[in-house]
Each structure stands twice: as C-alpha cells, then as structure tokens.
C-alpha cells in the first residue's frame, strides 16, 4: 500500500495522576530522521520512542513532541537536611554564648529555615518503567494516527500514479505504431531526393536505396527501448499494489530508468511525430517523479 510521507498524528495516555500526550509531524525526507522534543527528565525514553516510531514509519523527517501533565501528585519533593540544621543551630548557639546577642531559645524557626541548603526542592523520583510504558502507549497511538493519515494521502497518490501510468502506456503504444512507418517513409524520401538529383539521366539504384533505408532503420530502431519501457510501466503498476512495504525509493529508481528510455527513443527515432510524443512522455514521467518524492 502506497503511503505518503507527510502527516500528523496524536496519541494520549491518561491514568489517575498524569496525562501523556505525544504528537508526531512528518514531511518529506530521503531517510528516516527522527527528532524528539520533550522534558529533559524523560530523556531516558528517547531511544525507545524512536524505536516505537520506526515500527510504522520508515522514511521522512519526523518531529515528535512529548508533553506530560501531572495532576494527581506533585512532581517536586521537599527535602530537609536535619543534620545541617542542627549544625546551624549549634553554630548560632555558640555565637550567642560568645557575644550574648539573644537567648538561644529566641532563635526563630524562619531564620533557621532560611539557612543555605537546610530545605531544598528536587524533582520527585520517577518510576521510569511506569513512565516508559505510558510514553510508549501514547507514542504507539500517535504513530497509528499518522499512519492512517499517510495511508489516505497515499491512496490519492496511487490513483494519480495509476492514471499517469495509463497515459504513458498509451503514448508508448502510439510510438510503437508509428515506429515501423519511419523506414518506409525514409526510403520514399531518399528515392524522391535521388530522382531530383539524377533528373532521369541515370537509372535509379534500387538496391542502394534499400540498403540505405535498412541502415537507417537499424540506427533508428527503438524496439528494445519500447519493450523496456513497457516492462517499467508494468513494474510501476505492481509497485502501486505492494502491501506493507516502503517502495518510494524503488519507484524513484524506476522513474529514472523510464526517463532514460524516453531520452534514447527521442534521440534514435529522428522523427518529428515521435519526438513530439516523447516530449509528452517525458512530461508525464516528470509529473510522476515529483509525486514520488512524497511516497514513503
């Protein structure tokens, strides 16, 4: 099944204390390039998130946004250093004994609490396994969502490519019909030209005319190119029906081969009608090449 490389997907995981939201955006890219943007405290899950995405997406520039809302409990711990507080208290008591500023019992709790590092805040310890499961659950849902969107866009691309494959095949058939007529027309033109030059004074060398026509026909023969082009068209149609495989690169290579055959046909045929048809052929191939850049 053809898949587009562009799309957007969103997935969410919710439990009694948190909601994890993952959004995936993808655009065209030659390779699979994944960038994850999320809070640093969840960096431990980055490679697992990338691996989960690669199960479904094999090409594209992919941006992943992760947001975690904690509502059932605070994600910050308050830590009291009792031993340090005792040291401050003893130090203040020593100052009182030495200088007699105030009674020790008069020391305020607020003063002691303001001493450096007595009370500190720190991120709450995370249950990494539980958080990883939540992140991967939301990521999986987002990946499924973007895949659905890519498949819808891919179906439209496949329909367009099928139509253009039919157009190319029709042009190929018309070139095939025209090709055998070129030799006869060349022989007739050559005969007319010789008659004009000899002006009836010398008998026309029929065998020589036949030989020249045969040589021209051999040089202008495009049978092999037309057969290969027909084969490429069949391969393109087969690729469009391929299931569960990223075939963008294969089609891109196939289009290059089709364009090469078209160029060869145009250079060998030496015929205005075929040249005109080749221009139409190359225009359709170029349209396919542009569309293929959007295929995974």
Task: Check: CB of residue 19 under 8 Å from CB of residue 12.
Answer: yes
| Residue among 236, 221, 210 nearest 267 (CA) | 221
Q: What is the dihedral of CA 234, 239, 241, 242, to 10 degrees?
A: 140
Residue 263, C-beta contacts closer than 8 angstroms, at least 6 positions apart: 282
- Tokens (6 digits) for 209: 């005319």
- 214 falls in which pLDDT band (50, 70, 90)? low
**pLDDT value at 141 more than 80:** yes
Task: Check: CB of residue 258 under 8 Å from CB of residue 266.
Answer: no
**Does pTM top 0.75 for this prediction?**
no
Task: Check: CB of residue 22 under 8 Å from CB of residue 68.
Answer: no
Residue 162, C-beta contacts closer than 8 angstroms, at least 6 positions apart: 237, 240
3-state secondary structure of 28: coil
Question: Bigger pLDDT: 36 or 178?
Answer: 36
Report the pLDDT averaged over residues 14-35.
Answer: 92
CB atoms within 10 A of CB 111: 11
Share of the chain above pLDDT 70, in %: 80
Report the pLDDT averaged over residues 49-72.
Answer: 91
Residue 119, C-beta contacts closer than 8 angstroms, at least 6 positions apart: 78, 79, 80, 81, 113
- Cα 68 to Cα 19, 80, 122: the distances in Å are 6, 27, 18
Q: What is the pLDDT of residues 230-262, one digit of tens each?
A: 999 999 999 888 876 778 888 999 999 999 999
Q: What is the pLDDT of residues 116-128, one digit of tens each?
A: 877 777 665 667 8
């Amino acid at each position: 099944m053809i898949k587009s490389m562009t799309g957007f997907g969103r997935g969410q995981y919710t439990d009694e204390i948190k909601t994890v939201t993952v959004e995936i955006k993808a655009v065209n890219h030659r390779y699979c390039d994944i960038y994850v943007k999320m809070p640093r405290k969840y960096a431990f899950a980055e490679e697992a998130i990338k691996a989960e995405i690669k199960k479904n997406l094999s090409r594209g520039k992919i941006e992943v946004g992760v947001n975690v809302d904690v509502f059932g409990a605070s994600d910050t711990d308050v830590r009291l250093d009792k031993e340090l507080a005792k040291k401050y208290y003893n130090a203040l008591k020593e100052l009182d004994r030495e200088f007699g500023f105030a009674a020790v019992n008069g020391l305020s709790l607020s003063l002691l609490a303001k001493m450096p590092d007595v009370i500190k805040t720190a991120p709450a310890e995370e249950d990494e396994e539980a958080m990883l499961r939540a992140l991967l659950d939301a990521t999986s849902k987002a990946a499924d969502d973007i895949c659905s969107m890519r498949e819808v866009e891919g179906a439209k691309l496949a329909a367009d490519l099928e139509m253009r494959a039919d157009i190319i095949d029709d042009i190929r058939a018309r070139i095939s019909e025209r090709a055998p007529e070129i030799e006869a027309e060349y022989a007739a033109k050559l005969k007319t030209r010789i008659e004009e030059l000899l002006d009836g004074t010398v008998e026309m060398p029929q065998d020589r005319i036949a030989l020249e026509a045969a040589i021209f026909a051999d040089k202008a023969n495009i049978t092999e190119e037309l057969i290969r082009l027909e084969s490429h068209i069949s391969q393109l149609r087969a690729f469009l029906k391929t299931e569960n495989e990223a075939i963008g690169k294969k089609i891109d290579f196939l289009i290059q081969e089709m364009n090469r055959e078209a160029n060869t046909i145009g250079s060998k045929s030496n015929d205005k009608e075929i040249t005109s048809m080749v221009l139409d052929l190359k225009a359709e191939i170029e349209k396919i090449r542009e569309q293929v850049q959007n295929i995974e």
